Structure 1
Amino acid sequence: MTLPAISTDASLTLHGRYAVLRFERDDVRNALTGTRLIDDICTTVEWANSNRDISCLILTGSGRAFSAGGNVKEMRDQTGMFGGTPNEISDSYRRGIQRMSRTMHSAEIVTIAAVNGAAVGAGFDLCSMCDLRIGCDATRFGETFINLGIIPGDGGAWFLQRLIGYQRAAELSFSGRIINADEALNMGILLEKTTDEALMACAERYASDYASKPPIALRQTKRLMKLAQRQELEDFLDTCADVQAMCHGTEDHIAAVNAFFDKTTPTFTGK
């Protein structure tokens, strides 16, 4: 399988039906702005969406942080996407970090954030855009935009309240405080917390499990989970009926049913 061309700011490895995208800019704590990481994330998700042999993508960071979000030095110097007139900055957000938000939201594969360290600002929002988040002792989260006199320009307020509810999201956004992995676990931000050393093994265990499922049904399940957030029940039930009818006609469904009766482990082909 041919991997997409990404920059040296990240590395992409393939493990059967799941892939790992690792941010490699520890020198700037894997900041999303001022690096090529936004392009790398978008390129990788778009590649995975179009590749039916991929079922899951893990995002993680190298070094001390998952991602520090925006580059504060560029904010101070008013360079990069933070430079120019208000109209130019607005356009930079739309063409830059908001492209990541749209791409992550349109991901057809299961996305898992293996949060190896601090995830603050847009780094926290990127985690919120993933389906699952696995943390470790070093994990820290912060919706810290308010501390810099700005707002979550990547749409973080939309994602975070859908993850933990309005009240908890509001408290984190109004305070800009940093929370540790234990509090994040209690809030429901993290699905699981492990040791620093066991983080990737834990995330890959989830990814391997999902990658072993019928590929068509897995992608359709994620699609329906997203659709349920914006459709009325009657419309949603109609969609479910049509998707279910399609799934009943797949070879993977027949293989799964036969394996159920034969008490064997099926092999799925995505057909």
Structure 2
Amino acid sequence: MTDLILVEQTEAIRTITLNAPERRNPISDIAMVDALCDAMKAADTDPVVRVVVLTGAGSAFSSGGDVKKMAPGQGLRDALPVRTRSNYREGIQRLPILFQSLDVPVVAAVNGPAIGAGCDLACMCDVRIAGESAKFAESFVKVGLIPGDGGAWLLPRIVGFSKACELALTGDVIDAAEALACGLVSRVVPDADLLPTARAMAERIAANPPHAVRLTKRLLREGQTASLTGLLELSAALQALVHATGDHDEAVRAFTERRTPVFKGA
């Protein structure tokens, strides 16, 4: 694992930290994309991992793109537009596709500015908790760009079309309180309490039957684009699977015996 990503495992919870604090954790470099994709795939396929907490080292969650590498011939930008298009598709656009496919729940602990693609990275996660010093901006327009990493798909589904337009067309920076008010995050806590709060939420998720948790997340993700009838059909199929799990039987037994269930992912 590259030192661009730090990985810590505590029981069923894996904490993944973007680790380029001197550059405020940009995610546009192919090395960071590769490292983050590898870390998330490893967590998703590890049966020990029930929840992932994603955060940033240092004072920022992620600055998104590295503005210093936006000159012609640097970063994602190529002299030929067709190659620039390929750089996006083979680079940073792999992140939203991967996050959409993950079964393991991901909690973002936004510890500071989440700007541009950094804001979109937070939106790729399932739950977002912000420290009081967190700031958010869909700021591509400020540097003459568009949301090239899926932000135009992600943001309206979280905050609604009107608020998404306001954020994307102005590029304004909003603080944690406004992010909470518009539903961009689910809670705001003092900075010192951010990781403990995120991990406590992760523990509450991890305490539930892991198959049911992952399939519930899959239903919620599919529900973003599916029709009601299509989602009901998928729900019936997945419900048949979890009815057959040992954890479901354990939950029923524990309920009738008035005790706390012990879920083993069986």
Q: TM-score range by the shorter chain?
A: over 0.9
Provide the rounded CA distance (Å) in 2 between the counterparts of 1:100 and 1:138. 25
Change (3 A) 1:64 1:77: farther
Q: State the 1:22 CA deviation.
A: 0.7
Partner of 2:64: 69
* Among candidates 204, 220, 229, match of residue 225 of structure 1: 220
Contact kept, 8 Å, 2:72 with 2:79, in 1: the verdict is: no
Q: 1:40, CA displacement in angstroms?
A: 1.9
**For 1:240-251, what aligned pairs fall within 5 Å after superposition?**
240-251=235-246
Segments of structure 1 that go 5 or more residues without pairing to the other structure are 1-5
Which residue in the other structure is 1:142 paired with? Answer: 137
2:91 is aligned to 96
Alpha-carbon separation, structure 2, partners of 1:115 and 1:72: 21
Q: Shift of the alpha carbon at 1:249?
A: 1.1
What is the rounded CA distance, in whole Å, between the counterparts of 1:265 and 1:39 in structure 2? Answer: 41
Shift of 1:207: 0.6
SS of equivalent to 2:192: coil
Q: Say which of 26, 31, 56 aligns to 2:26.
A: 31
Q: Deviations over 1:178-218 (max 9, x none)?
A: 00000000001111100010000000001111111101101
**Within-5 A mapping of 1:71-90:** 71-76=66-71, 78-90=73-85
The letter for the 2-side match of 1:107 is L
Kindly indicate whether the alpha-carbon contact (under 8 Å) linking 1:34 and 1:74 is maintained by their aligned counterparts in 2.
Answer: no
Partner of 2:6: 11
Aligned residue for 1:161, secondary structure, equals helix
Q: What is the distance in 2 between the residues matched to 1:89 and 1:35?
A: 13
Deviation at 1:12, TM superposition (A): 0.3
Deviation, 1:269, is 1.5
The AA in structure 1 aligned to 2:187 is E
Q: Which amino acid aligns with 1:192?
A: R
TM-score (norm 1): 0.95
CA RMSD of aligned residues (A): 1.2
Aligned to 1:114: 109
Aligned pair count reads 266
The answer as to 2:252 corresponding to 1:260 is no
Aligned match for 1:161, one of 149, 153, 156: 156
Q: Is the 8 A contact 2:13 2:49 kept in 1?
A: yes
Deviations 1:108-159 (A, max 9, x none): 1111110000000000000011111000111000000000000011011100
Mapped pair 1:127 → 2:122: yes
Please state whether the residue corresponding to 2:55 is helix, strand or coil. strand
Which residues of structure 2 form unaligned runs of 5+?
Answer: none
TM-score (norm 2): 0.97
User: How far has the Cα of 1:235 moved from its partner?
Assistant: 2.2
Q: CA separation in 1, counterparts of 2:11 and 2:56?
A: 21
Q: Does 1:216 align with 2:195?
A: no
CA distance in 2, matches of 1:265, 1:90: 53
Please name the residue that 1:49 is paired with.
44
Tell me the distance in 2 between the aligned counterparts of 1:81 and 1:147. 17
Q: 1:34-70, CA deviations, whole angstroms, 9 ceiling, x for partnerless residues?
A: 3632112211221122222212111101111000000
- AA in 2 matched with 1:72: V
1:108–1:223 CA contact under 8 A, matched in 2: yes
Which amino acid is the alignment partner of residue 219 of structure 2?
A: L
In terms of mean alpha carbon deviation, does 78-87 or 167-176 score higher? 78-87
Task: Compute the displacement of 1:248 (Å).
Answer: 1.2
Q: Answer yes or no: is the 8 Å Cα contact 2:30–2:91 preserved in 1.
A: no
**Does the 8 Å contact 2:138/2:168 carry over to 1?**
yes
Q: Which amino acid aligns with 2:212?
A: A
